[in-house]
Structures are given as structure tokens and as C-alpha cells.
């Protein structure tokens, strides 16, 4: 079997097999993820050797479904497979005491399979299908603990936010297919015609929904209601990454105006969500806000016209953010909470986990020689080199500064405080998954030159960018470590705590009108209902009247006839005395009477 | 002297009157049935007299009398059967005590 198919089919087989066998779900999921990982490594090796694998499957008429193994897709697929496998290893420990392992691991495997399909998709139709599938599986996973309060509503909110933005992707894809006449992504990209600004903006809308960009960043923080491995996977390599991956893949197509819009949206997001992260009171929500912020930086890089810089940050961020989440999951288990107030000193309980968390946090802030440094560097260099450097570079630098500040804040809270050691079940598995990802977070920087040669596009690296980036990162770290986030934000604090709800935010502009509409519909429905009930009551009354006339009219007549007959019979019965003499006498007298009458009539006529 | 129609009718009426008196005055079932026999005998005498003196050429009257006699015999057999059954069950054939014939 071709490795291309195996990459998708191995996790899919695990997803199908787990609910059927219902035994050892974790091992089956790991088996599927491992097979997928090996296949994707084979694919990557093939792609770096110049081999372009492709698989054409029967699909719509004249629009076959394609899986392609270009260097970019193979690289992304490897990323998904590696992070997926390590997160699954971690999840074996994390879910040790959960009762619904079968459902969890089946959905996780399905999620990985869907994401692999999305990454490897060679045509728009398969991409759309995979796009929907990751939306579905993330809905299922965020709502995994659906019995807890607010979880179902968080899952629904995530689903609706991303679904709404998905409409942009549908419109963009239909426009692209209509203008180029082909559903193949490669053909569309190289058609040379370029795309209209409208297509670019529609794609941006789709990416904004999935990658939780301002003003659609709210759902991502609420999505923290799911299990921690889900958050780790969601934020690093799958759902949220899909938006950035879409833009990275379509970047050659986009006109400058659309690129500028992308860069500005990304820049605003990275600052806004960075401020939210500084004000956040929950560790997982802080990490979620930071995810939005990092994807904002990637959008800045795409907007600056250097999608490869965004790709580097995407890869580094995948390893870093998943290790941060996995560390947070351990702290969550040891304190049974993710609120920062409860986590004071949690780092001291588990110094090894804290060391991993710290390394990942420093990597995210962009401290050399960790992987984040190289990626941040590339992004800042791209923003400086772009034609809109005045707009994009300050936003990118502010984002970097804020990254350092909120990561230092999280580290300080985790380190300062008293030890309260509590045993954590399954720590060995969790530690193994975390260690793998932290090693990637540290060492991925060494692989970047290889990636750059693989994609055949060197990333500009002026010394100025390096200097600016490093000083912003160090400055941010220092600010975050020494000054509490509350004081740092000053007057912005209450606003940031509400998630920068602009004039009431989504609630006022979308939720309230929708609710009002729903209430109007409800009233209309109540009216209709009352009408229907009135008609029903009328029918009932009519029926009752008919029944009454039946009972008292026709039946009454018949029964009174019956009663009369019975009464007559009873009266006749009293004549029968049983005394033979009396009856004989009666019959004699009656006969005599008859004769008398006959005689008289004979005489008379 | 050969009997004439009037004499025969007087004998029949006498028989009928004696029978009627017996049927009404007696309380014993056997006696009542004897009264009934006499009533029927009176009716038969009338029938024979009407045939003999008014239509001696037709045999229909004769046949009618024979049939009525057969019916009388059958009726008696049934009546005595009832009387015997009642006597065995109750030890008496007094009709004043037989009120359960009431419907």
C-alpha cells in the first residue's frame, strides 16, 4: 500500500477498530498513530528525494479526489503524525482513570485521520470534506465530558463559530473552481490567473474562524472545557492549525490587498489575545489565548509575503504548545484545577515536568537556541522586509514582547508558592509524551535549514530582526517575571478580562439579535400552536355533541322501547298464578264470553 | 224408537257439563284429567251426531272422530306420565300444592 494512503488509513482503521473491539483502546490508537507516523516519515523521505507521490481516488464526475505528497504536505503530515503520536502517549496516562477510554481514543484517532486528510488533500473537495470532519471531531472532543456544566455549550459554541467562518471557505472554493475550471489545488495555484481580493478575503474569513483570530477568538478559550490532550492536539497541529495551513498553502494565489488584510488581522490578533493572556486567571485559557496570539504572528508572516516563515513558526509552535498543554495537564491532575490561583507552587511539586514546561515557555518566547527563536526570528524578518513593514513590524514585535510577558507570568505563578504534593496517576506515560515534545521544542531549530532546503526557499534573516526579536523577547520575559500582569495592563485590565468584547462583542452583535429572533419565532410558534389547539378543541366539542345526541336520541329511543317491552312482559307474568283451577276457570269464563259475543253478534246481524 | 239428533245433542251437553264440573271441582290431577276426558267425550258425541244425522254420505266426519280419539289417548298417556313423575318426586298429585308451575 502506498504510504500516502497509509498515513490516513492507519489512524482511521484505529478509529474504526476501537469501538468494534472495545479492548485495549489506548494500545490500538497508539498502533494506528505509530503506523501513520512511519508512513508519513516514508512519505517525507520520498518527498525530500524529489519523489512526488499522488493518489487519485474516484470522486465526483470530472473531479477526482486526490491525495498528494509534495514536500509541503509531507512535512505537515509528519508534523501531525509526530504530535498526534506523542499526545496519544501522554493521553494513555492522562485518561487512566476515565471510564470512557473507548470513545476518547476512537475520536482522537478519527481526529488525526481527518487532519491528515486535510493536510494531504490535493483537491478542494477533499479539503472541504476534511475541513468539516475536523470541525466535527473537535466538537466531539471538546464536548467529551458532556455531563459537566458548560461543556456542551462550549462545544456548541466552538462548532458554531468555526462553522460560520467555514462558509467563507465554501464560497472561496466555489469561486476558485468556477474561475479555473479545476478542483485540483495545484492547478488552481499555478493557473497564473491569480485570485480576486474577494477570494482572498473569504479564505481569510475561513482561517479566522478556525485559527481563532480576532474577533472570533472567543471560542478557543472556551474550548478548554475538553480534556487536556485534546487541547494540546487542537492547538498545535490540528484544528487551529488548519486555518494557518490553508493560508500558507494558498499564499501564492493571493493578491497584495488580501495579503495586507491577512497581515493586519494577524497583527491585531497577536496583540489583543496577548493582552487577554496577560489578564487570564486560568492556566489553560492563558495558553489558549497565547495560541491565538501565535497564529496571529503566523498570519503576519503570511501577510508579509513569506508563508515559509509562518510554516516554521507553525511547526515550532506545534511542538511547543503541545508540550505546554501537556505540562499544564499534569499540574491540573495534581491540583484538580486549572485556575492560576490554585496552581501557585504547582511547579515545585514536579520539578521535572516544570523544567519541561519552562523550556517550552522559553522556546515560545523566542530564546536562543530553542526552536521558537528561529521561527520568531523568521517572522520578524519577514515583517521587516515586507512592503508594509511600518504596519506589520511593530505589531509583530509587540506580539513577541507580550509572548515573553505572559509566559513569564505563568512561570512565576507556577514556581512561587507552597508545595502541596499529591500523587498523579499515569505520570510515567504523561512524562514520556511530554519529554518527546519538549525535545522537539528544543531541537527543532536544528531542522529548519533542512526544511528550508526542502522547500527551496531560504528565509531572509537580517541581523536587525534578530536583535529586535531577542530584545523584545527578553524584555517581555523580564516584564512578566517582575511585574504582575494586573499592574502591567493598568486600565486595560477589565477590558482584557472580558476578552476585548468590542461594544459588548459577539454577545451584543450576534448572540442577542439571534436570541431576539429566536424569541420572535417562539412567539409565532406559540400563536400557531394556540391556533392548532383551538381547531382541535372545536373538533372535540363537535364530537362530544354528536356523541350526546347519539346517546340520548337514537339509543334512548331503542332502550325505552326495550324497557317498555320488558315491563309489559313483567305485567303479563303476574297473570300466571300456577294454580291450575284458577287458570281453568279463567279459560272457561273467557270461552263463555267469546261464545256470548258470537251469539249476540249472530243474533244482531 | 231410534234416537234423533236432539237426544244425541242433549246427551253430549250433559257429558260436557259433568266433565266441566269435575275438572273445576276436583283437586286431584287424576280426577281433573277424568273431567277433561268427559268434556272431550261430550264433544265426540256431538261430532258423531252431526255426522250421522246431517251428512251420513261423507266419511270425513268419521275420520275426524277417530283422529280426536287417538289424540285423547296420547294426551292421557302424557298426563299420567306427568302425574306419576310428580307423585314420585313429591308424594302427592294435589294441584293446590303445585304453585311452581307459575311462569
| Torsions phi, psi for A252 (to 5 deg) | -60, -20
> Which helix (H) or strand (E) is A172 found in, with range?
helix A151-180
Check residue A509 and give its pLDDT: 66
Residues of chain A positioned with their CB less than 8 A from the CB of B28: none
Residues of chain B positioned with their CB less than 8 A from the CB of A585: 24
B20 touches chain A (CB under 8 A): yes
Q: Do A581 and B103 touch (CB under 8 A)?
A: no
Q: A577 to chain B nearest CA, in Å? A: 5
Fold of the CATH domain B5-101: Helix Hairpins (1.10.287)
Give domain limits for chain A.
Answer: 255-500, 575-605
Question: What is the distance between the alpha carbons of residues A166 and A173, in angstroms, rounded to a whole number?
Answer: 11
Flag residues of chain A having pLDDT under 70. Answer: 1, 191-195, 421, 456-461, 485-511
Cell numbers for A534, please give them.
383551538
State the pairing for strand pair A63-69/A53-60. Answer: antiparallel
> Which helix (H) or strand (E) is B23 found in, with range?
helix B5-25
Q: Sort residue A339 into left (φ over 0), alpha (ψ -120 to 50) or beta.
A: beta
Place of cell 350526546: A548
Cell numbers for A31, please give them.
498502533
Q: Name the residue among B24, B101, B103 with its Cβ closest to that of A584.
A: B24
Q: Do A579 and B27 touch (CB under 8 A)?
A: no
Q: Do B101 and A585 touch (CB under 8 A)?
A: no
Q: Mean pLDDT in chain A?
A: 84
Cell numbers for A32, please give them.
494506528
Residues of chain B positioned with their CB less than 8 A from the CB of A581: 24, 27, 95-96
DSSP A458: P
Q: Do B23 and A584 touch (CB under 8 A)?
A: yes
Residues of chain B positioned with their CB less than 8 A from the CB of A575: none
Q: A572 to chain B nearest CA, in Å? A: 10
Question: What is the distance between the alpha carbons of residues A571 and A119, in angstroms, rounded to a whole number?
Answer: 102
3-state DSSP assignment of residue A192: coil
Cell numbers for A299, please give them.
498570519
Q: Show which of residues 549-578 on chain A sit within 8 Å of chain B, judged by CB atoms.
A: 573, 576-578
Buried b (16+ CB within 10 A) or exposed e, B84-94: eebeeeeeebe
Chain A to chain B Cβ contacts (< 8 Å): 27
Residues of chain A positioned with their CB less than 8 A from the CB of B32: 580
* Nearest C-alpha in A relative to B103: A576
Query: Looking at the predicted structure, is the pLDDT value of residue B67 above 80?
Result: yes
Question: What is the distance between the alpha carbons of residues A10 and B38, in angstroms, rounded to a whole number?
Answer: 120
Give the Å distances, CA to CA, from A216 to A496, A502, A509: 15, 11, 12
Q: What angle do CA B9, B15, B19 make, to 5 degrees?
A: 145
3-state DSSP assignment of residue B47: helix
* Nearest C-alpha in B relative to A572: B103
Check residue A498 and give its pLDDT: 64
In sequence order, the 6+-apart residues with CB closer than 8 A to the CB of A292 are A211, A212, A213, A214, A217, A220, A269, A273
* Nearest C-alpha in B relative to A584: B24
Q: Which residues pair with B73 in a beta bridge?
A: none
Q: A558 to chain B nearest CA, in Å? A: 27
Q: Do B24 and A585 touch (CB under 8 A)?
A: yes
Q: Do B98 and A585 touch (CB under 8 A)?
A: no
Cα-Cα-Cα-Cα dihedral sign, residues A537, A541, A542, A547 = positive
Instruction: Answer yes or no: are the C-beta atoms of A66 and A55 closer than 8 Å.
Output: yes
**Alpha helices, DSSP H, located in A386-426:** 389-415
B27 touches chain A (CB under 8 A): yes
H helices then E strands: how many in chain A? 26, 2
Q: How many CA atoms lie within 13 A of A423 on its CB side?
A: 2
Q: Do A578 and B96 touch (CB under 8 A)?
A: no
Question: What is the distance between the alpha carbons of residues A98 and A78, in angstroms, rounded to a whole number?
Answer: 29
Residues of chain A positioned with their CB less than 8 A from the CB of B27: 581
Give the Å distances, CA to CA, from A478 to A409, A412, A601: 9, 11, 145
Radius of gyration of the CA atoms of chain A, in A: 38
Within 10 Å of residue A27's Cβ, how many Cβ atoms?
13
Note every long-range contact of A583-590, with CB atoms under 8 Å and residues 24 or more positions apart, other chains counting. Answer: A584/B23, A584/B24, A585/B24, A588/B20, A588/B24
Check residue A576 and give its pLDDT: 74
| Ordered DSSP codes for A547-567 | HHHIIIIIIHHHHHHHHHHHH
> Which helix (H) or strand (E) is A66 found in, with range?
strand A63-69
* Interface test with chain B among A580, A588, A595, by most B beta carbons within 10 Å: A580
Q: Do B24 and A579 touch (CB under 8 A)?
A: no
* Nearest C-alpha in A relative to B97: A579
Question: What is the distance between the alpha carbons of residues A308 and A374, in angstroms, rounded to a whole number?
Answer: 12
A581 touches chain B (CB under 8 A): yes
Q: Which residues pair with A66 in a beta bridge?
A: A56
Residues of chain A positioned with their CB less than 8 A from the CB of B103: 573, 576, 578
Check residue A506 and give its pLDDT: 58
Check residue B81 and give its pLDDT: 93
Residues of chain B positioned with their CB less than 8 A from the CB of A573: 103
* Nearest C-alpha in A relative to B102: A578
Q: How many CA atoms lie within 13 A of A333 on its CB side?
A: 25
* Nearest C-alpha in B relative to A573: B103
* Nearest C-alpha in B relative to A576: B102
Q: Do B103 and A573 touch (CB under 8 A)?
A: yes
Burial class (CB in 10 A: 0-12, 13-18, 19+), B78: exposed
A584 touches chain B (CB under 8 A): yes
* Nearest C-alpha in B relative to A586: B24
* Interface test with chain B among A573, A578, A587, A589, by most B beta carbons within 10 Å: A578
Q: B74 to chain A nearest CA, in Å? A: 21
Would you mind telling me the total number of residues written for chain A in this entry? 605
Q: Do B100 and A573 touch (CB under 8 A)?
A: no
Q: Do B99 and A577 touch (CB under 8 A)?
A: yes
Cell numbers for A410, please give them.
505563568
B30 touches chain A (CB under 8 A): no
Cell numbers for B31, please give them.
280426577
Amino acid at each position: 500500500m502506498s504510504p500516502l494512503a497509509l498515513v490516513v488509513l492507519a489512524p482511521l482503521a484505529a478509529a474504526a477498530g476501537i469501538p468494534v473491539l472495545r479492548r485495549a483502546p489506548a494500545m490500538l490508537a497508539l498502533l494506528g498513530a505509530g503506523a501513520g507516523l512511519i508512513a508519513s516519515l516514508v512519505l517525507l523521505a520520498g518527498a525530500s528525494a524529489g519523489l512526488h507521490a499522488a493518489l487519485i481516488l474516484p470522486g465526483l464526475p470530472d473531479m477526482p479526489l486526490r491525495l498528494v505528497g509534495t514536500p509541503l504536505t509531507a512535512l505537515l503530515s509528519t508534523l501531525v503524525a509526530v504530535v498526534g503520536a506523542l499526545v496519544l502517549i501522554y493521553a494513555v496516562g492522562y485518561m487512566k482513570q476515565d471510564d470512557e477510554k473507548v470513545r476518547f481514543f476512537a475520536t482522537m484517532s478519527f481526529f488525526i485521520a481527518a487532519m491528515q486528510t486535510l493536510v494531504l488533500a490535493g483537491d478542494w473537495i477533499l479539503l472541504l470534506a476534511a475541513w468539516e470532519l475536523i470541525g466535527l471531531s473537535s466538537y466531539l472532543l471538546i464536548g467529551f465530558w458532556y455531563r459537566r456544566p458548560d461543556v456542551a455549550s462550549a462545544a456548541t459554541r466552538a462548532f458554531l463559530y468555526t462553522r460560520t467562518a467555514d462558509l467563507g471557505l465554501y464560497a472561496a472554493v466555489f469561486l476558485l473552481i468556477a474561475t479555473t475550471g479545476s478542483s485540483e489545488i495545484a492547478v488552481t495555484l499555478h493557473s497564473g490567473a491569480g485570485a480576486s481580493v474577494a477570494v482572498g478575503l473569504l479564505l481569510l474569513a475561513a482561517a479566522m474562524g478556525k485559527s481563532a483570530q480576532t474577533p472570533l477568538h472567543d471560542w478557543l478559550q472556551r474550548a478548554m472545557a475538553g480534556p487536556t490532550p485534546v487541547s494540546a492536539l487542537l492547538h498545535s497541529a490540528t484544528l487551529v492549525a488548519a486555518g494557518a495551513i490553508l493560508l500558507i498553502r494558498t499564499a501564492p494565489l493571493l493578491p497584495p490587498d488580501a495579503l495586507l488584510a491577512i497581515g493586519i488581522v494577524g497583527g491585531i490578533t497577536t496583540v489583543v489575545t496577548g493582552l487577554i493572556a496577560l489578564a487570564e486567571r486560568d492556566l489553560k485559557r492563558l495558553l489558549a489565548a497565547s495560541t491565538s496570539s501565535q497564529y496571529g504572528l503566523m498570519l503576519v508572516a503570511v501577510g508579509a509575503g513569506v508563508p515559509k516563515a509562518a510554516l516554521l513558526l507553525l511547526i515550532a509552535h506545534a511542538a511547543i504548545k503541545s508540550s505546554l498543554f501537556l505540562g499544564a495537564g499534569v499540574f491540573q491532575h495534581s491540583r484538580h484545577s486549572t485556575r492560576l490561583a490554585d496552581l501557585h507552587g504547582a511547579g515545585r511539586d514536579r520539578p521535572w515536568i516544570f523544567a519541561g514546561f519552562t523550556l517550552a515557555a522559553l522556546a515560545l518566547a523566542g530564546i536562543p537556541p530553542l526552536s521558537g527563536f528561529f521561527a520568531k526570528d523568521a517572522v520578524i524578518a519577514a515583517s521587516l522586509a515586507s512592503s508594509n513593514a511600518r504596519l506589520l513590524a511593530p505589531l509583530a514585535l509587540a506580539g513577541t514582547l507580550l509572548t515573553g510577558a505572559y509566559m513569564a507570568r505563568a512561570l512565576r505563578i507556577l514556581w512561587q508558592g507552597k508545595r502541596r504534593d499529591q500523587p498523579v496517576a499515569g505520570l510515567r506515560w504523561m512524562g514520556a509524551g511530554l519529554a518527546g515534545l519538549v525535545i522537539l521544542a528544543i531541537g527543532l531549530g536544528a531542522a529548519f535549514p533542512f526544511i528550508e532546503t526542502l522547500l527551496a526557499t531560504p528565509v531572509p534573516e537580517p541581523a536587525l530582526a534578530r536583535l529586535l526579536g531577542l530584545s523584545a523577547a527578553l524584555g517581555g520575559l523580564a516584564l512578566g517575571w517582575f511585574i504582575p500582569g494586573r499592574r502591567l495592563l493598568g486600565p486595560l485590565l477589565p477590558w482584557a478580562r472580558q476578552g476585548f468584547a468590542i461594544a459588548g462583542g459577539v454577545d451584543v452583535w450576534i448572540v442577542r439579535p439571534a436570541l431576539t429572533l429566536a424569541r420572535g419565532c417562539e412567539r409565532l410558534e406559540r400563536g400557531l400552536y394556540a391556533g392548532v389547539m383551538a381547531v382541535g378543541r372545536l373538533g372535540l366539542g363537535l364530537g362530544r355533541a354528536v356523541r350526546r345526541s347519539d346517546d340520548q336520541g337514537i339509543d334512548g329511543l331503542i332502550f325505552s322501547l326495550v324497557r317498555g317491552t320488558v315491563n309489559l312482559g313483567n305485567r303479563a307474568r303476574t297473570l300466571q298464578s300456577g294454580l291450575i283451577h284458577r287458570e281453568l276457570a279463567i279459560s272457561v269464563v273467557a270461552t263463555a264470553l267469546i261464545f256470548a259475543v258470537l251469539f249476540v253478534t249472530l243474533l244482531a246481524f | 224408537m231410534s234416537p234423533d239428533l236432539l237426544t244425541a245433542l242433549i246427551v253430549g251437553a250433559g257429558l260436557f257439563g259433568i266433565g266441566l264440573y269435575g275438572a273445576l271441582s276436583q283437586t286431584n290431577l287424576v280426577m281433573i284429567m277424568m273431567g277433561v276426558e268427559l268434556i272431550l267425550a261430550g264433544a265426540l258425541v256431538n261430532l258423531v251426531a252431526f255426522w250421522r244425522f246431517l251428512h251420513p254420505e261423507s266419511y270425513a266426519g268419521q275420520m275426524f272422530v277417530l283422529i280426536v280419539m287417538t289424540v285423547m289417548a296420547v294426551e292421557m298417556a302424557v298426563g299420567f306420565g306427568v302425574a306419576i313423575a310428580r307423585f314420585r318426586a313429591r308424594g302427592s298429585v294435589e294441584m293446590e300444592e303445585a304453585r311452581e308451575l307459575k311462569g
